[in-house]
A and B are shown apart, each in its own frame.
Chain A
Amino acid sequence: DSGVTQTPKHLITATGQRVTLRCSPRSGDLSVYWYQQSLDQGLQFLIQYYNGEERAKGNILERFSAQQFPDLHSELNLSSLELGDSALYFCASSVAEGMGSPLHFGNGTRLTVT
Protein backbone atom coordinates (compact mmCIF):
# COMPACT_ATOMS: atom_id res chain seq x y z
CA ASP A 1 0.00 0.00 0.00
CA SER A 2 1.52 3.31 -1.14
CA GLY A 3 -0.42 5.39 1.36
CA VAL A 4 -1.97 7.51 -1.39
CA THR A 5 -5.77 7.28 -1.41
CA GLN A 6 -7.87 8.02 -4.46
CA THR A 7 -11.65 8.15 -4.60
CA PRO A 8 -13.79 7.00 -6.22
CA LYS A 9 -12.25 3.87 -7.69
CA HIS A 10 -14.66 3.81 -10.59
CA LEU A 11 -16.76 6.52 -12.17
CA ILE A 12 -19.20 6.18 -15.05
CA THR A 13 -20.75 9.30 -16.49
CA ALA A 14 -22.16 10.71 -19.70
CA THR A 15 -20.64 13.05 -22.23
CA GLY A 16 -20.94 16.71 -21.31
CA GLN A 17 -20.96 16.04 -17.60
CA ARG A 18 -18.53 17.19 -14.91
CA VAL A 19 -16.78 15.00 -12.35
CA THR A 20 -14.38 15.49 -9.44
CA LEU A 21 -11.62 13.06 -8.56
CA ARG A 22 -10.14 13.20 -5.09
CA CYS A 23 -6.65 12.38 -3.82
CA SER A 24 -5.26 12.18 -0.31
CA PRO A 25 -1.45 12.12 -0.35
CA ARG A 26 0.75 10.10 1.96
CA SER A 27 1.09 11.59 5.42
CA GLY A 28 3.81 14.23 5.31
CA ASP A 29 3.95 14.52 1.53
CA LEU A 30 3.64 18.09 0.28
CA SER A 31 3.63 17.53 -3.46
CA VAL A 32 0.79 16.05 -5.49
CA TYR A 33 0.88 15.04 -9.14
CA TRP A 34 -1.95 14.02 -11.47
CA TYR A 35 -1.44 11.63 -14.36
CA GLN A 36 -3.75 10.26 -17.04
CA GLN A 37 -3.18 6.71 -18.24
CA SER A 38 -4.64 5.49 -21.51
CA LEU A 39 -3.73 2.48 -23.61
CA ASP A 40 -2.29 4.44 -26.51
CA GLN A 41 -0.66 7.34 -24.65
CA GLY A 42 0.68 5.65 -21.55
CA LEU A 43 1.13 7.80 -18.45
CA GLN A 44 0.70 11.47 -19.29
CA PHE A 45 1.54 14.15 -16.73
CA LEU A 46 -1.28 16.59 -16.17
CA ILE A 47 -0.41 18.92 -13.31
CA GLN A 48 1.60 19.23 -10.08
CA TYR A 49 0.95 21.08 -6.84
CA TYR A 50 3.34 21.71 -3.98
CA ASN A 51 2.02 22.83 -0.63
CA GLY A 52 -1.05 24.36 -2.21
CA GLU A 53 0.63 26.08 -5.12
CA GLU A 54 0.60 25.01 -8.75
CA ARG A 55 4.15 24.10 -9.77
CA ALA A 56 4.04 22.54 -13.21
CA LYS A 57 1.60 21.83 -16.01
CA GLY A 58 1.74 19.09 -18.56
CA ASN A 59 -0.80 17.97 -21.12
CA ILE A 60 -3.79 19.22 -19.20
CA LEU A 61 -6.79 20.30 -21.22
CA GLU A 62 -8.49 23.62 -20.52
CA ARG A 63 -11.63 21.64 -19.56
CA PHE A 64 -9.64 20.14 -16.68
CA SER A 65 -8.61 21.93 -13.52
CA ALA A 66 -7.14 20.97 -10.19
CA GLN A 67 -6.35 22.38 -6.79
CA GLN A 68 -4.60 21.40 -3.59
CA PHE A 69 -6.28 22.34 -0.35
CA PRO A 70 -4.71 23.48 2.96
CA ASP A 71 -4.95 19.93 4.33
CA LEU A 72 -2.91 18.90 1.25
CA HIS A 73 -5.57 16.76 -0.38
CA SER A 74 -6.13 17.48 -4.05
CA GLU A 75 -9.02 17.39 -6.44
CA LEU A 76 -9.02 17.07 -10.22
CA ASN A 77 -12.09 18.50 -11.92
CA LEU A 78 -13.00 17.30 -15.39
CA SER A 79 -15.78 19.14 -17.22
CA SER A 80 -17.59 18.93 -20.57
CA LEU A 81 -16.52 15.32 -20.68
CA GLU A 82 -15.88 13.62 -23.99
CA LEU A 83 -15.60 9.94 -24.86
CA GLY A 84 -11.86 10.37 -25.24
CA ASP A 85 -11.52 11.39 -21.61
CA SER A 86 -12.18 7.79 -20.59
CA ALA A 87 -8.97 6.68 -18.88
CA LEU A 88 -7.32 5.83 -15.60
CA TYR A 89 -6.44 8.90 -13.58
CA PHE A 90 -3.62 8.53 -11.09
CA CYS A 91 -2.55 10.74 -8.27
CA ALA A 92 0.98 10.54 -6.90
CA SER A 93 2.63 12.29 -4.00
CA SER A 94 6.15 12.99 -2.81
CA VAL A 95 7.68 14.50 0.30
CA ALA A 96 9.28 17.36 -1.59
CA GLU A 97 10.45 18.10 -5.10
CA GLY A 98 13.57 16.88 -6.80
CA MET A 99 15.36 13.62 -7.34
CA GLY A 100 15.49 12.65 -3.72
CA SER A 101 11.72 12.47 -3.46
CA PRO A 102 10.31 9.45 -5.30
CA LEU A 103 6.71 9.52 -6.43
CA HIS A 104 4.21 7.24 -4.70
CA PHE A 105 1.11 6.45 -6.74
CA GLY A 106 -2.41 5.69 -5.65
CA ASN A 107 -4.43 2.93 -7.29
CA GLY A 108 -6.22 5.31 -9.60
CA THR A 109 -9.75 6.28 -10.58
CA ARG A 110 -11.13 4.59 -13.66
CA LEU A 111 -13.31 7.06 -15.54
CA THR A 112 -15.70 5.81 -18.20
CA VAL A 113 -17.53 8.37 -20.30
CA THR A 114 -20.51 7.00 -22.23
Chain B
Amino acid sequence: QQQVKQSPQSLIVQKGGISIINCAYENTAFDYFPWYQQFPGKGPALLIAIRPDVSEKKEGRFTISFNKSAKQFSLHIMDSQPGDSATYFCAARNQAGTALIFGKGTTLSVSS
Protein backbone atom coordinates (compact mmCIF):
# COMPACT_ATOMS: atom_id res chain seq x y z
CA GLN B 1 0.00 0.00 0.00
CA GLN B 2 3.07 2.20 -0.48
CA GLN B 3 1.59 5.26 -2.16
CA VAL B 4 4.37 7.68 -1.21
CA LYS B 5 7.92 6.69 -2.10
CA GLN B 6 10.72 8.47 -0.27
CA SER B 7 14.44 8.56 -0.97
CA PRO B 8 17.15 8.29 0.12
CA GLN B 9 16.71 6.00 3.10
CA SER B 10 19.65 7.66 4.83
CA LEU B 11 21.69 10.78 4.25
CA ILE B 12 24.93 12.16 5.66
CA VAL B 13 25.62 15.86 5.15
CA GLN B 14 28.40 18.12 6.34
CA LYS B 15 27.51 21.00 8.63
CA GLY B 16 26.54 23.97 6.51
CA GLY B 17 25.62 21.83 3.52
CA ILE B 18 22.27 21.32 1.81
CA SER B 19 20.17 18.27 2.64
CA ILE B 20 17.74 17.12 -0.04
CA ILE B 21 15.06 14.48 0.46
CA ASN B 22 12.73 13.43 -2.34
CA CYS B 23 9.26 11.96 -2.45
CA ALA B 24 7.02 10.73 -5.25
CA TYR B 25 3.35 9.90 -5.16
CA GLU B 26 0.91 8.11 -7.41
CA ASN B 27 -2.53 9.17 -6.30
CA THR B 28 -3.61 12.37 -8.05
CA ALA B 29 -6.31 12.86 -5.41
CA PHE B 30 -3.63 13.83 -2.89
CA ASP B 31 -4.00 17.50 -2.11
CA TYR B 32 -1.85 18.20 0.91
CA PHE B 33 1.81 17.35 1.37
CA PRO B 34 3.43 17.82 4.79
CA TRP B 35 6.87 16.95 6.04
CA TYR B 36 7.38 15.66 9.56
CA GLN B 37 10.55 15.57 11.65
CA GLN B 38 11.11 12.88 14.26
CA PHE B 39 13.79 12.76 16.95
CA PRO B 40 14.62 9.52 18.79
CA GLY B 41 12.10 8.74 21.49
CA LYS B 42 9.63 11.33 20.21
CA GLY B 43 6.65 11.35 17.93
CA PRO B 44 6.78 12.98 14.49
CA ALA B 45 6.28 16.74 14.49
CA LEU B 46 5.01 18.85 11.61
CA LEU B 47 7.84 20.76 9.96
CA ILE B 48 6.36 22.36 6.86
CA ALA B 49 3.53 21.63 4.43
CA ILE B 50 2.48 22.56 0.91
CA ARG B 51 -0.56 22.41 -1.32
CA PRO B 52 -0.17 21.57 -5.03
CA ASP B 53 -1.29 25.02 -6.20
CA VAL B 54 2.07 26.33 -5.00
CA SER B 55 5.42 25.25 -6.49
CA GLU B 56 7.58 26.24 -3.54
CA LYS B 57 7.21 27.10 0.12
CA LYS B 58 9.96 28.34 2.39
CA GLU B 59 10.09 28.55 6.16
CA GLY B 60 13.45 29.57 7.52
CA ARG B 61 16.07 27.08 6.36
CA PHE B 62 13.43 24.58 5.18
CA THR B 63 11.97 24.66 1.66
CA ILE B 64 9.47 22.39 -0.05
CA SER B 65 9.64 22.21 -3.84
CA PHE B 66 6.59 20.74 -5.57
CA ASN B 67 6.30 19.43 -9.14
CA LYS B 68 2.67 18.56 -9.80
CA SER B 69 3.18 17.21 -13.32
CA ALA B 70 5.92 14.85 -12.17
CA LYS B 71 4.03 14.01 -8.96
CA GLN B 72 7.13 14.70 -6.94
CA PHE B 73 8.04 16.92 -4.03
CA SER B 74 11.20 17.48 -2.08
CA LEU B 75 12.49 18.95 1.15
CA HIS B 76 15.60 21.12 1.09
CA ILE B 77 17.38 21.97 4.33
CA MET B 78 19.79 24.84 3.81
CA ASP B 79 22.83 25.39 6.04
CA SER B 80 22.25 22.00 7.69
CA GLN B 81 23.13 21.86 11.39
CA PRO B 82 23.89 18.94 13.74
CA GLY B 83 20.60 19.71 15.48
CA ASP B 84 18.80 18.83 12.23
CA SER B 85 19.92 15.21 12.63
CA ALA B 86 16.62 13.33 12.76
CA THR B 87 14.32 11.17 10.68
CA TYR B 88 12.23 13.03 8.12
CA PHE B 89 8.95 11.76 6.71
CA CYS B 90 7.06 13.07 3.75
CA ALA B 91 3.34 12.46 3.68
CA ALA B 92 0.24 13.05 1.63
CA ARG B 93 -3.48 13.33 2.28
CA ASN B 94 -6.37 13.35 -0.15
CA GLN B 95 -9.20 15.81 -0.41
CA ALA B 96 -11.49 13.57 1.60
CA GLY B 97 -9.41 14.53 4.60
CA THR B 98 -8.65 11.09 5.87
CA ALA B 99 -5.39 10.07 7.42
CA LEU B 100 -1.92 10.94 6.22
CA ILE B 101 -0.05 8.38 4.14
CA PHE B 102 3.64 8.50 5.03
CA GLY B 103 6.82 7.70 3.17
CA LYS B 104 9.21 5.29 4.86
CA GLY B 105 11.44 8.03 6.18
CA THR B 106 14.95 9.38 5.70
CA THR B 107 17.48 9.35 8.50
CA LEU B 108 19.58 12.50 8.25
CA SER B 109 22.91 12.81 9.99
CA VAL B 110 24.65 16.17 9.92
CA SER B 111 28.31 15.89 10.81
CA SER B 112 30.17 18.70 12.45
Contacts and interface: CB of A to CB of B under 8 A. Distances in A.
B89 A102 contact: no
B41 interface: yes
Interface string B93-112: 10001111111110000000
A3 to B, nearest CB: 11
A104 B36 CA distance: 10
Given A59-B1, A90-B43, A99-B97, A42 B32 contact: no
A14 to B, nearest CB: 25
Contacts of A104: 45-46
Interface of A: 2, 4, 33, 35, 41-45, 48, 55-56, 58-59, 90, 92, 97-99, 101-108
B101 A2 contact: no
A105 B45 contact: yes
Given A42-B89, A43-B89, A99-B32, A92 B98 contact: no
B97 A105 contact: no
B61 interface: no
Nearest to A45: B99
Interface of B: 1, 31-32, 34, 36, 41-46, 49, 51, 89, 93, 97-105
Contact of B93 (A99, A105, A106): A99
Contacts of B105: 42-43
B98 A55 contact: yes
B3 to A, nearest CB: 11
A4 B98 CA distance: 19
- Determine chain B's interface SS by DSSP, over half rule: loop
Contacts of A55: 98
A104 B44 CA distance: 8
A48 B36 CA distance: 19
User: Which 3 A-B pairs have CB atoms at the shortest separation, nearest pair first?
Assistant: A105-B43, A42-B104, A98-B97
B43 A106 contact: yes
Given A41-B104, A42-B105, A99 B43 contact: no
B102 A43 contact: yes
A105 B44 contact: yes
A42 B103 contact: yes
